Structures are given as C-alpha cells and as structure tokens.
Amino acid sequence: MHIVDVARMRELEMRADQEYGLNTSILMENAGRSAAELLARYIRERQRRSLSECELLFLIGPGNNGGDGQVMARHLEAEGAHINLYRWKERRLTREGREVPAEQVEAELNALLQRVGYVVDALLGTGRSRPLPEDMRALLARVEQERARRPGELLVVAIDLPTGVNADTGEVDPGSIRADLTITLACPKQGFFFFPARSYLGELFVGSIGLPEELERDLSDEMLDATLARTLLPPRPLESNKGTFGRVMLFCGSPPYPGSAYLAGSAVLRVGAGLVTLAVTPDLLPIYASSLHEATYVLLPAGEPGEQRGQEQARTLLEHLSGYRALLIGPGLGRAPATRSAILALLDALRSLPEDERPALVIDADGLNNLADVENWWQRLPPGTVITPHPGEMSRLLGETRVSGGGIDRLQVARHCAQAWNVILVLKGACTLISEPAGRLRINWESNPALASAGTGDVLAGMIAGYLAQRLTPFDAASLAVYLHVAASKLVSQHCGDAGLLASDLLPQIPAARLRLLQPTST
C-alpha cells in the first residue's frame, strides 16, 4: 500500500482523468461505494449488526469530501440503513430522503446526535485550506460531547481523514475530533503516520477509488502492514537443516548489561534462524549458559581494559566468523574505550572482506553510541549495514540535532540520512520508519506504547539479524522484523494492555505473530 502526500494524490487523480478518462465524478462514485462497502462490512462482521438496525448521520461539507459522503450515504441507504444528511454550509437537514423545515433543523439535529449510532465526518478532506470555521468546530464539539456521553454507542467515522487533520504534516486543527474509524481513499496519506494526526485516526481502512495500478508504479513510500509483511516472510522448505536458516554472531552484552545479549540472541532464534553464537568474555558465560541454552559461544579475551584488548577481541571474533550470515553489534556493549576499538577493528575488517564472504551487519544501541563520536563514522561501515537508532541515538549520530519520537521531522531525517550515510536506517519511534539509500521508505502503521520499555530494542535488533541470516535483503529483513515486533507486542498487550510489558514477554509471541500473519485473513 503506497503512501502519498496531497500533491501526489492530486497528480494521481489528474492522470487518472487525462490518461484513463476517470474523471472526478467517476472517482467519487467509486470512493463512496467503496467506503460504504467497508463500513457495511465493519457493521456486519465486527459489530454483528444488520444495516437496517443502524441509523447514521452524515455531516456533509462543501467540496468533494462531502461528495464522497453523499455517494456513500446513498449506497448504505440502498442496503437498508437509516440515513440522515446534514449539509453544513447550507444548514440543511435531510431525514430518510425528506427535507426538514429550516426552523426545525437545530432541534432535529440535536435529537439525531443523541440517538444515532454513527456520525460520518465528510466535512473536509485533503482540500482544507485554512483553520476550521468556528461553527464547524462547534458542530464537531457537539459530536464529541455526545460520544463522551454514550461511550461505545456512537462511532465517529471519518471519510478520507478526520476533518482538520493536515494530510501532509500530521498537524491537527484545534477543532478536530478523533475518529473511531478512518476510511481513507486510494492511499494512506503521509501525515497519518506522524503525531498528533496518528492518534486522531482510530482504526484505518483504505477504500479504492479505482485508480489503475500502473499509476502507482513510481511511488516509493509504502505503509508497512500485514499485506506487505506477509510477502516478506522467508520460505521454510521441508528439506532443511539449521544451516538452511543461517547463523548469527552477536557481539553484545557486558557486565552491567548482560540481559541485552540474552534478549537479542533469543530473538534471533525466535524468528527462525538456525543458530546463534554469543561472542562474550568468560565472566559472562555462566549467565548466558544458564539462561540461553540454545546458544553457542566464542570466548573473547578479557584482561586489562584498553585499546589493545579491543583489537584482540575483534581478532578472536573474526577468526570464528566464517560461515556466519549475519553479525549484530551493539546491544548492552557499554562504552569502554576497548569496546570502541573492537567495533572499529571489526568494521575495518568487514569492509575489506569480499562481498560474498561478508556477513550482513546490524548495529544497534551502544554500537551506535560508540560510533557517534568517531568522525565521519558512516564511512567505516560496510555497504548494506542496517542501523537501528531510537530518537536519542539518532540525535547523537547527527551530532546532537534533536529528532522527535513521532513528529513529521522524522520523515526528512530518515530519507536524507539513509542516503547520506549509505545505510538501511530503522528510525525507531511510535511509527518506525525504514529507509534505504536508493530512496525507498516504509512506515510501520501499528504502534504500541507498551513497547516503550527496556530491552525491547535488543529484541528488534536480534530479529533483524535473524532475518538477515535467512537471506532477506537488509531492507526487507528490517521491515519484517519491525512489523512482527509490534505484532508480537500486540499479542502481549492482550493480557497486559499498554503498560507492563517485559521485553522477554515478546520472545514467545514472535512465532505466534508470524503464525497469525500466515493466516490470509489477518490484517
């Protein structure tokens, strides 16, 4: 599913007209019919109600968004739903096809607001060009007040987007109200993935306006959802052994942070890689040997801390690296000088390896923190490296330029840095972005505040390494891992809600999330 900004959406609509004769009224007819079908299915399948039991109030605006609403209303009426239309600009109300006399409109509108099960917001869409007028804000505020009075009984359904949401920037008018469902048309809009807009959309559905597929060919940004993630799952041939699914080496963990290597190493196996090896100093071995029974180990030299120990550790790790398809550097490593020199020595050695002998590389957490103060650090990375900064780490990598956890600034940062640094960038946050040097970008739709807890990043890094070992491209490995990481967290949240998730809770839910994804009906 491609993501568009408003200019791109307009261009698609124009080309649909010029090249395929699909003019605005045809597109609007398609849009309204598709939105009606989606809502009807929601009502029948999710709410287990028949349309003839449902009464809806459509708020109709002056432009094409209002036009979509009218077409949608007509289709739902034909299916038996009870339809009321309020034309905001003209202040006219139609009840089941009959015009309400002007002097009764206010009272009737009030009565409807207190009774209907659905308010459909078809006031304004992508054509909003200025702040909402006060009377429109007041109308939306009445809807909000009524929904608060009847929680669960009144759903707000936004057509294309909740009125007042900026489809490009994710900004929101002070008069906007949150939708329970948004049925967007043709493609999700760029602003949806950024805050505050993201939290105004509710559950997102995408309706078709009948654009020919070829028109979308040049679009580079995609929504990372179940449909896309499913296409990325690596095959599991019957005739396989642990070599088939690849080996991963981890350079992670240190005495203050031993849990990181456990979490990342477990995640490698939970996504289906064949073998995981932890490169650790001997003092840590007893910890892992008693918790992660399935791993194998490379013992790194301990001894006096300092640059030389780092060099020796890198050498030992490299001696054991042949046959490994992926290497993860970073979680829990700490920031001792020896560690930094080990990382730099590893990177120098990896760059000099021929491409077919070089394991794919993921750098996370302290791997990135150690690099951040190395001048032109990105020049030390082998091509195809995946880096997975959270906003704080990203700010450090950028030399203390602040990067938000959910704002629109992230889009430019992700696009620019993947190219400038020649990396596959996983910019973590509420809707994680994945970008690559050639300009492709994916944004994960789902987010879960329960994931904002220690160690969940280590799990993600291990998942990416595990998929690299199964020969996914770095962009696809990162994308699939990001999707399943949130999907696994949603399964945990079925029991704990949006707080109290332990990173280790994710581990058994990773295979469960994959299984769900394999079911063709999962969305």
Ligand X SMILES: NC(=O)C1=CN([C@@H]2O[C@H](COP(=O)(O)OP(=O)(O)OC[C@H]3O[C@@H](n4cnc5c(N)ncnc54)[C@H](OP(=O)(O)O)[C@@H]3O)[C@@H](O)[C@H]2O)[C@@H](O)CC1
384 annotated as a binding-site residue: no
The nearer residue to ligand X, 206 or 452, going by C-beta atoms, is: 206
253 annotated as a binding-site residue: no
Which positions from 120 to 139 touch K ion by CB under 5 A, shown as an x/- string? -x------------------
The nearer residue to ligand X, 12 or 279, going by C-beta atoms, is: 12
Residue given tokens 């160690």 in the structure block? 455
Q: How many whole angstroms separate alpha carbon 414 and alpha carbon 435?
A: 6
Which positions from 80 to 119 touch K ion by CB under 5 A, shown as an x/- string? ----------------------------------------
Residue 319: alpha-carbon gap to chain centroid: 38
Least Cβ distance, residue 166 to K ion (angstroms): 12
Q: How many whole angstroms separate alpha carbon 175 and alpha carbon 143?
A: 11
66 annotated as a binding-site residue: yes
CA trace torsion 368, 373, 375, 381 (10° rounding): -10
341 annotated as a binding-site residue: no
Least Cβ distance, residue 67 to ligand X (angstroms): 7
Structure tokens at 160: 């294309």
Least Cβ distance, residue 58 to ligand X (angstroms): 13
Scanning residues 153 to 212, which ones bind K ion (CB under 5 A)? 158-159, 163
369 annotated as a binding-site residue: no
Per partner kind, with CB cut-offs from 5 to 8 A, the member of ligand X, K ion, none near residue 210 is none
429 annotated as a binding-site residue: yes
The nearer residue to ligand X, 209 or 488, going by C-beta atoms, is: 209
Per partner kind, with CB cut-offs from 5 to 8 A, the member of ligand X, K ion, none near residue 190 is none
The nearer residue to ligand X, 133 or 323, going by C-beta atoms, is: 133
Edge-to-edge strands of the sheet including 98-99? 98-99, 92-95, 82-87, 55-60, 118-122, 155-159, 181-185, 203-207
Edge-to-edge strands of the sheet including 296-299? 221-224, 441-444, 433-435, 424-427, 386-387, 360-363, 326-329, 247-251, 275-280, 296-299
Q: How many whole angstroms separate alpha carbon 203 and alpha carbon 179?
A: 8
The nearer residue to K ion, 159 or 228, going by C-beta atoms, is: 159
Cβ 116 vs Cβ 142: under 8 Å:
no
The nearer residue to ligand X, 163 or 509, going by C-beta atoms, is: 163
Least Cβ distance, residue 214 to ligand X (angstroms): 18
Provide the binding-site residues for ligand X, judged by CB under 6 A. Answer: 13, 24, 27-28, 31, 61-66, 68, 124-130, 132-133, 159-160, 185, 209
Per partner kind, with CB cut-offs from 5 to 8 A, the member of K ion, ligand X, none near residue 127 is ligand X
Per partner kind, with CB cut-offs from 5 to 8 A, the member of ligand X, K ion, none near residue 121 is K ion
Q: How many whole angstroms separate alpha carbon 212 and alpha carbon 130?
A: 32
Closest Cα to residue 247, out of 315, 301, 314, 294?
294
Q: How many whole angstroms separate alpha carbon 80 and alpha carbon 55?
A: 10
Please count the residues of the chain.
523
The nearer residue to ligand X, 68 or 225, going by C-beta atoms, is: 68
Taking 3-state DSSP, the helix, strand and coil percentages for the chain, each rounded to the nearest 5, stand at 45, 15, 35
54 annotated as a binding-site residue: no
121 annotated as a binding-site residue: yes
The nearer residue to K ion, 84 or 266, going by C-beta atoms, is: 84
Per partner kind, with CB cut-offs from 5 to 8 A, the member of K ion, ligand X, none near residue 13 is ligand X
Q: How many whole angstroms separate alpha carbon 86 and alpha carbon 106?
A: 10
Per partner kind, with CB cut-offs from 5 to 8 A, the member of K ion, ligand X, none near residue 176 is none
128 annotated as a binding-site residue: yes
Per partner kind, with CB cut-offs from 5 to 8 A, the member of K ion, ligand X, none near residue 277 is none
Q: Which residues pair with 82 in a beta bridge?
A: 55
Structure tokens at 105: 């409109």
The nearer residue to ligand X, 140 or 468, going by C-beta atoms, is: 140
Q: Assign 3-class secondary structure to 198-228.
A: HHHCCEEEEECCCCCHHHHCCCCEEEECHHH
Least Cβ distance, residue 12 to ligand X (angstroms): 9
Number of residues that bind K ion (CB under 5 A): 4
Contacts of 510 (CB under 8 A, 6+ apart): 267, 270, 271, 459, 463, 484, 485, 488
**C-beta neighbour count of 211 within 10 angstroms:** 20
Cβ 25 vs Cβ 17: under 8 Å:
no
32 annotated as a binding-site residue: no
Least Cβ distance, residue 291 to ligand X (angstroms): 53
Least Cβ distance, residue 259 to K ion (angstroms): 46
131 annotated as a binding-site residue: yes
293 annotated as a binding-site residue: no
Is residue 13 involved in binding K ion (CB under 5 A)?
Answer: no
Give the residue ranges of the annotated binding site for K(+): 65, 121, 163
Question: Which residues are documented as binding site?
Answer: 64-68, 121, 125-131, 160, 163, 332, 390, 428-432, 457-458
Binding residue ranges for AMP: 428-432, 457
Q: Applying CB under 5 A, which residues contact K ion? A: 121, 158-159, 163
